[in-house]
Structure 1
């Protein structure tokens, strides 16, 4: 996985890239890893002309067996709010896996933002939490910004990424747009296959299904936003304390 140890599949990708004559930077882009990682891997295992995936994997496993076993580290201490960091990380991983349809790095960034108390993180903070390169963070944030799930803010020279209370409303709208795209695509097939043919009738039915689903999803999202806005704005009036005088 990006940010962790290279796998055998990663090494096969490197070997294939070298056979195709690709530059290290292009191979790194295919893997979603820094160019320096690819360069070190190739230099350590025979160079660009002698690199073989199976040999590199065997050498890595041999080096790992020679390393002394690490001393057991003490369990991480609870955070300032008394939460177990391991439990938090496990939940972030679960949330990442359940964010279907979202690219892997974007899902990891979104999970970090969603589980942070402030809902605001910088590139440096995300890099430290996810153990990946700033370029990988930028790629994930780019997708989230494009679909409206995060927004960017500038704090002096630092760029911060922000998630707010309406993120799921916007995520739901992304889903409705996807439904509408399905409806339009399927509807186009009716003319191609003929409206009176069995295939055309099937496509017309599917198009109607997606149109109705889109309308229902949009209405549900708007209902949530209005209800949530009313709940948030309904702040009870503060009761006067004994000794308080009349308002000026």
Structure 2
């Protein structure tokens, strides 16, 4: 990635372009652009000059301390490894559909020592406004991925080992709502019309999918319950 590439990434972010569009204009893959942004401050904190400087510093540091000659301290290795994984984790979530800020908030919670952080801690860690954190948390809560609880005058957000069960159940409920709505639509339009036929087919698919999702979630809940009793 050249300094000119980074300048164009910064300009693209400022113009509100998607990662895919920025990647297309640069002639690079979306995953490359996603990792570059996540590694250097995220969509709101990305600065071309700072990214270029950080990359040069990392390159010089690797050159000064070859791993084969001088092994880094165990703690230092752990810090750098977890940071790299966190960047990859965020990039993966963005690549699979989450917005950059929602991905960063979830990663901060999921990879924290206790699985929970206060709103203030998230603001300080991610260097964004409380409103930005609130917006991301709302999206995650609606999908069962984050829980909240009040501690005195502050709010604490958390994830736990059952996060994927809750998220899966929430998705199954969403499928049921879609199935019911499209079923009603098929009745209104008439299944002998193109729109009605599409609605009926959609309803049948989503009803089956929602049923299978609910069964899978219950199977996991029972398996996890048995595992915890052992």
TM-score range, shorter chain: 0.5 to 0.7
Cα displacement (A) at 1:12 = 5.5
The answer to whether the aligner puts 1:173 opposite 2:158 as a matched pair is no
Cα displacement (A) at 1:107 = 2.7
Match of 2:87 in 1: 90
Distance 1:174 1:187 in 2: 20
Match of 1:193 in 2: 189
Unaligned runs of 5+ in 1: 14-31, 34-59, 235-248
Q: How does 1:146-185 map to 2 (within 5 A)?
A: 146-185=142-181
Secondary structure in structure 2 of the residue aligned to 1:72: helix
Larger displacement relative to structure 2 (146-155 or 108-117): 146-155
Match of 2:103 in 1: 107
Match of 1:230 in 2: 226
Cα displacement (A) at 1:201 = 3.6
Asked whether the equivalents of residues 92 and 112 of structure 1 are also in contact (C-alpha less than 8 Å), the reply is: no
Larger Rg over CA atoms: 1
Match of 2:132 in 1: 136
Cα displacement (A) at 1:213 = 0.7
Asked whether the equivalents of residues 189 and 203 of structure 1 are also in contact (C-alpha less than 8 Å), the reply is: yes
More helix by share: 2
Distance 2:199 2:139 in 1: 31
Distance 1:208 1:99 in 2: 26
Distance 2:122 2:209 in 1: 36
Match of 2:200 in 1: 204
Unaligned runs of 5+ in 2: 1-6, 17-42, 63-71
1:72 to 57, 69, 85: 57
Match of 2:112 in 1: 116
Instruction: Provide Cα deviations, 1:142-180, integer angstroms capped at 9, x if missing partner.
Output: 222333321223334432211111110111122212222
Instruction: Provide Cα deviations, 1:98-146, integer angstroms capped at 9, x if missing partner.
Output: 553x444223211221122310112233223323222211221122233
Task: State the Cα RMSD in Å.
Answer: 3.7
Instruction: Provide Cα deviations, 1:16-61, integer angstroms capped at 9, x if missing partner.
Output: xxxxxxxxxxxxxxxx97xxxxxxxxxxxxxxxxxxxxxxxxxx99
Q: Cα distance 1:152–1:199, how it changes in 2: closer, same or farther (>3 A)?
A: closer
| TM-score normalised to structure 2 length | 0.63
Q: Cα distance 1:134–1:127, how it changes in 2: closer, same or farther (>3 A)?
A: same
| TM-score normalised to structure 1 length | 0.59
